[in-house]
Structure 1
Amino acid sequence: MEEPKKGANLTHRQRQALWTRRLIVDAARTLFLERGYTATTMDAIAEEAGVAVSTVYAAYKNKRAILRAIREAWHEQTQARGINEEASRQPDPGRRLGMVARATRRQWETGSAVVAVYQGAAAADREAAAELEQALRGRRAALDRVVGGMEGALRPGLDAARGAAVLRALCRAEVYRELVDESGWTSDEYEAWLSETLEEQLLPRKPSAPTPT
């Protein structure tokens, strides 16, 4: 079933169908996190969403389709793809890395749980594993493009390949979860830390201000 285009004039039936699909996606995300992907049944998703199981199957043929819808809703909400693409065209290296920090914060602020759901699904479903790998490859490529245009601006001794590896490592979901979920940092603190750390690790040191005499 195709989603109505954003900004389209929807009929009452289309709005109702869209709302039902959102209920199903939200219910599935909750259950996948609580029970795990494998243990969650379509019947359980229907019960959590408050709809008939036939409605769930009509909207999404299987759990994998729901999983895909969860991921797409997350990408639409964060707009991280667009921010990273814009960052790759930003000529100022510091601003470029700051944009990556903002995109990463938005991505994991709403989606670190989505990654955990996908990782659980991938352990039991080969196609889900393939989708996860494809998504991760796309993210790696986007981050590589950010660094690819910075080779002349990177700190001495750091080439684009190693710079991209540093960027990918620091922007991992596990780092966000460790600092924010486990250590109590705010998302603002995480974004500021990431932006500063990316500059420290990737760009030449700024000259120290002269000491007043």
Structure 2
Amino acid sequence: MKEIIEYTNSEDFKFIGNLVMYNLNYNILHSYIEIDIQTELNEEIKKWKILAKNPIKIGFFEAYNFVNYREITLMDKHPLLYSVCGNSVICTLEGIPINKFSFIGDLCVEIENITGNWLTVNEIISGFKNLFEKKDPQGRFEEFSVNNDEEILSFPKFLFETIKTVCEKHSIIIKYVEEINNAFNYQNQILLFGNEIITGKNDFFLNQPHIIAEEFELI
């Protein structure tokens, strides 16, 4: 992988090179992805094949010409890795924010600061309209309902301290309840087709093509 990474991140290629994916083969039975790539620089055309072993997640390969995302990077530390492969926690929240929209706004800002929009608050809390609002159940399910002052959240463990800080700012007590083991919690990597100028070392999510897998090889 070192060869293609250094080539696509060279100064010449960054500015005048071209990268096109002409085939993507996802073999579910044997758990691998093959990506056929063609690069062009100063009229020199090269063909490459990348093998991703035991892929977990693949996204945004709809376009075959990666005009804006031609710099290939392989990382073992990244917010999306922590989200997809890391453990989660289930917490209870006690209390109600004075201003629900201010609370959600602070949560959005702090989570974006850490994840670069690779993981949004919408993926952590669903149903903003009903957050901290108590509804009395009607009908035959009323006797089975427990309507107390606690809300329950489940989110990636690496965001625990950040969410806890935001909650404390809004007089909400967050309690650590349980850690949920992730089946993919082992050494994985993320292969990114990015652009340093646009996304700054892929710190911010702008629909870059990416794959999370256990291992990548240039074959």
Higher relative contact order (CA 8 A, sep 6+): 2
**Larger Cα-atom Rg:** 2
TM-score range with shorter-chain normalisation? under 0.3
Between Structure 1 and Structure 2, which shows a larger proportion of helix residues?
1
TM-score by structure 2 length?
0.23
